[in-house]
Structure 1
């Protein structure tokens, strides 16, 4: 026997509709800017897939309200939404720092550090998934209550640390904005505008995992779902307005070529 629609289900329907379009936009932006380019748009695809699959799990509980695995899948996928948001912001800023380096002539943030942040984000996602499966889930009338595992606490700690580093990166980018290429200042502006929404999403996760607070549908909507949608929308608008990054010539090669031709 099924159950009637609840507020969580209405939110899942809205998320499903929104992220189907966001997924299409994210795939287009990856093609436009390059799948291998670290512009952060791959994180949009990851977030969209997590939300589409998670919303589908939630809606499947309408016909199978006693299937605890569906609830666990839904809650686990909800938990990993913060990591792609942070990865998106870091990926966008990487383009800014490359632009600054080309014009200023000095390295602001080394690529090795950025790859390290990406590995930390990947580790956090893996830990959130593992921790979600090991957490204690209790479902009452379709409303979840979770006692998070130690692994989930560790994953959230990593995300808090990376969010702090993201804030530092935004400040560095703002102070070096005069070296940013024409048309790319909007990246710094968009990431800076999105950061408060990411911060609210982070606080929500900390309240659940560290504070032991039981969420409600309205808390989830206001502090999690809407925050992710706003960041996704702003980022996709930015991606569509940005030109494809051109490959910059290596100065050393040009100089060597000129020297060779002069001989």
Structure 2
């Protein structure tokens, strides 16, 4: 059995935080709907991924098997995608509440979703291959391609955010806080993406989430995710349920 170390302590903190996040996500889905378009199902998904990933990491203490490392690496990789999509979900909801003539075309959101799916697939393959090296895990072409795609997806999200800002005058008063939510999360997601890029493209191993510098991982990855999720939950709990637009193309709330 291995020793309980810095990485493991952070994993425990992740489990505690994301169990609370999961409960909030379930509450929001119950209130706003469990369909993908509500934008909150991804919060549940992200929380589960992080709980499972942290559990795999803790499992390596007593059983440092390849399967546990595979699980930890895959969850760490695909979690970046769900974090980005979590913010895109806010923009999707905002777009839905706009009058039809002011909405951004669904094709843009569809392209982002497609790229995200491809990136997740690459992350799973990359994480699986990296775990085969166990203690000497190193980024491969699949994981590098995935993080580049994740970054491009977020650039696309920022572009959508800029377009929605131009429609500010027709955004319902209660929904304008979603724009503030995206803006508040932006610097923290950027730091998280920078960490992912450094982990894959820098030559130093200190940016590895598995066997790198745990303080760097904590500050540039884990804490950034905690802050983003806290902001999203804090804003989301104040939102009213968004119903389908009426014939006059105005959203209704309950």
Taking structure 2 as the reference length, the TM-score comes to 0.89
Structure 2 residue matching 1:56: 3-state secondary structure:
helix
| Alignment pair present for 1:25 and 2:20 | no
Distance 1:212 1:79 in 2: 18
Structure 1 residue corresponding to 2:117, chosen from 112, 122, 147:
122
Which structure has the larger Rg over C-alpha atoms? 1
Tell me what 1:106 maps to. 101
The correspondence of residues 28-47 of structure 1 with structure 2, limited to 5 A, is: 28-47=27-46
Distance 2:72 2:133 in 1: 13
| Alignment pair present for 1:250 and 2:241 | no
| Alignment pair present for 1:225 and 2:222 | yes
Residues 139, 218 of structure 1: alpha-carbon distance in 2 compared, 3 angstrom cutoff: farther
Structure 2 residue matching 1:106: 3-state secondary structure:
helix
Distance 1:26 1:96 in 2: 18
Contact 1:131 1:152 survives alignment (8 Å): yes
Give 5+ residue unaligned stretches, structure 2: 208-212, 250-254
Structure 1 residue corresponding to 2:236, chosen from 233, 236, 239:
239
Tell me what 1:260 maps to. none
Structure 1 residue matching 2:61: 3-state secondary structure:
coil
Contact 2:112 2:156 survives alignment (8 Å): no
Give the deviation of 1:37 after TM superposition: 4.6
Give the deviation of 1:130 after TM superposition: 1.2
The correspondence of residues 111-150 of structure 1 with structure 2, limited to 5 A, is: 111-135=106-130, 138-140=133-135, 145-150=136-141
Give the deviation of 1:98 after TM superposition: 2.7
Contact 1:9 1:59 survives alignment (8 Å): yes
Residues 208, 37 of structure 1: alpha-carbon distance in 2 compared, 3 angstrom cutoff: closer
Tell me what 1:81 maps to. 79
Distance 1:97 1:166 in 2: 12
Taking structure 1 as the reference length, the TM-score comes to 0.86
Structure 1 residue matching 2:174: 3-state secondary structure:
coil
Tell me what 1:53 maps to. 52
Distance 2:156 2:13 in 1: 32
Cα-Cα RMSD: 1.8
Distance 1:200 1:22 in 2: 21
